[in-house]
Amino acid sequence: MAELGAAGLYRATVPKSHGGLELPLPIIVRILERLSKLDGSLGWISHVRFLAPLGLALLPRERFDAIMSGGPDIVGAAVTQPTGTAEATDGGWRITGRWPFASGFDDADIVALHCVVTEGGDPLPSTRLIYAPTRDLQREDSWHALGLKATASHHIVANNVMVNAADAIDLATARSSLPGPLYSGIFQISTLFHCPMALGVAQAAVDDLVDLAQGGRRQFGAATQLKDSETFLFELGKAQAALRAAQAFTDTEARRIWEQAQAGVLSSGLPEAKILQSAIWVTQTCLQVVQSCFSLAGGAAVYSTSSLQRRLRDIQTMAQHVNVHHRHYVEAGRALIQTQGV
């Protein structure tokens, strides 16, 4: 990760005005896909790094400028579950809590913590996303997980940490302080990023299976090698078709969201039903592709030395994320009914 940062990879989403590359969204999506193909955890941490400048852009412009004053290589992370509290004090906030899934925290300079606002210790019906330096937080060794093991997505803890008032974001009203389409809709973009991550892992699984077959693999008791089995070739061709469909869908969604951002009509609010629908479908399709590849590989895939078992565990873990949970199909269905009824 340090080498990738030194090479400038995480400047992809940093504005040009602050020494970054500010790449077009479809290019960032393709980069994320290729990183995920190399390794699922690498892709996951990379998407956290790519999103960090977009989140910081929700701060007041003078605060963004101050944070980026040391150069474009600031490393950020975020946790979105509101499992901490924030109490307003003179000139700032006092935050306390314990947050799960803090991917990339170990290498981060600053982390965004989602907090429930309290007054006199009592919760209010509002939340804040509050940035705190990682040096003021503690990490618990809790990431003993099925997959994405190298993301180090441990719990982190804050005990009465004081932060500046300007470092708090009201997600209900926040708007980017930066010009440019890349900073117009972080929640739509963050949901989109699930597509290339899943796609990269699925592409890698298909490549792993093809390499296995080309190497002369023959399962115990089988009449032919895998590469000569019509059953194997049928299932491989079907998996590739699903993968191509997921690739086309991802590219289409990336273009659609980018065009909306360029036109200034991309929603700055919570993820819209259509992009949630797309992220679920692509992730589930890629999960099925990887499951098929794992099954077709036979007993060789169960060993810890097999990349296929790691691909399967990684994408199964990706598919558990809240943004790609099946329940969000309901929102897409409701939106369709309401649109058709107008």
pLDDT digits (tens, 9 = 90+) for 85-121: 999 999 899 999 999 999 999 999 999 999 999 999 9
Helices 194-214 & 230-263 angle (0-180, nearest 10): 160
Please state, in angstroms and rounded to a whole number, the distance separating the CA atoms of residues 136 and 126: 24
The average confidence (pLDDT) of the chain is 94
Q: What is the pLDDT of residue 221?
A: 60
Q: What is the pLDDT of residue 226?
A: 83
Give yes or no for a contact between 245 and 307, defined as CB atoms under 8 angstroms apart.
no
Query: Which domain, by its residues, includes 278?
Result: 184-340
Whether the model pTM is above 0.85: yes
Which of 169, 196, 211 is the endpoint of a domain? Answer: 169
DSSP, res 157: E
> What is the rounded average pLDDT of the residues 42-68?
96
Find the CATH number of the domain harbouring 91. Answer: 2.40.110.10
Residue 49 shares a structural domain with residue 102? yes
Residue 246 shares a structural domain with residue 326? yes
| Position 236, amino acid | L
Residue 20 shares a structural domain with residue 143? yes
Q: How many residues does the chain have?
A: 342
With cut-offs at 50, 70 and 90, classify the pLDDT of residue 318.
very high
> What is the rounded average pLDDT of the residues 270-289?
96
Beta-bridged to residue 117, according to DSSP, are 86
Number of domains in the chain: 2
Scanning 91-193, the segments in alpha helix (DSSP H) are: 186-192
Helices 329-340 & 273-297 angle (0-180, nearest 10): 140
Give yes or no for a contact between 116 and 85, defined as CB atoms under 8 angstroms apart.
yes
Residue 164 shares a structural domain with residue 80? yes
Q: Which residue has the higher pLDDT, 342 or 197?
A: 197
